[in-house]
Amino acid sequence: MHTSPAIDAAPQFMAVVQDGQVPTDAALTGALGRRIAAYHVTADAEPSDGDLEAPPREGGPDLFRRAVARFPDYSLYPLADPADGSDAKLG
C-alpha cells in the first residue's frame, strides 16, 4: 500500500512523544516541525470511494493519563480528548 509523507512521519513523531526519555521542548518542537513539513509536502488527494473501515482508536483515558504523567509541565492540555467534543469533562 502506498502511503504519504504525512503518514510516514506520524510514527516518527509518536516515537519522540512516547518512547525513551522524556523529550525536551526543543525535541518536541523539532518533531512537530518535521511532522508539519511532511504534511505540507503531501499531495492533495480525493477521499477514497472504497468502503474503508477506520482503524481501531488507540487511547482514551489511559493515553491521557500517561501524557499527563510524561509531560506534567503542560498542565491539563493532554487531558483534553478532541474526539469528546466541546462538552467533554477533563480527567
Using one digit for the tens of pLDDT, what is the confidence trace for 6-51?
A: 888 889 998 998 899 999 999 999 999 999 999 888 878 777 777 7
Q: 78 near 71, Cβ under 8 Å?
A: yes
Backbone dihedral region for residue 14 (phi beyond 0: left; psi -120 to 50: alpha; all else: beta):
alpha
Q: What is the pTM of this model?
A: 0.64
- pLDDT at residue 85 in the model: 72
Residue ranges of the domains in the chain? 5-43+58-74
Cα gap 10→39, rounded to integer Å? 10
> Which residue in this structure is represented by grid cell 480525493?
46
Cα gap 40→75, rounded to integer Å? 29
Q: Cell for 11? A: 510514527
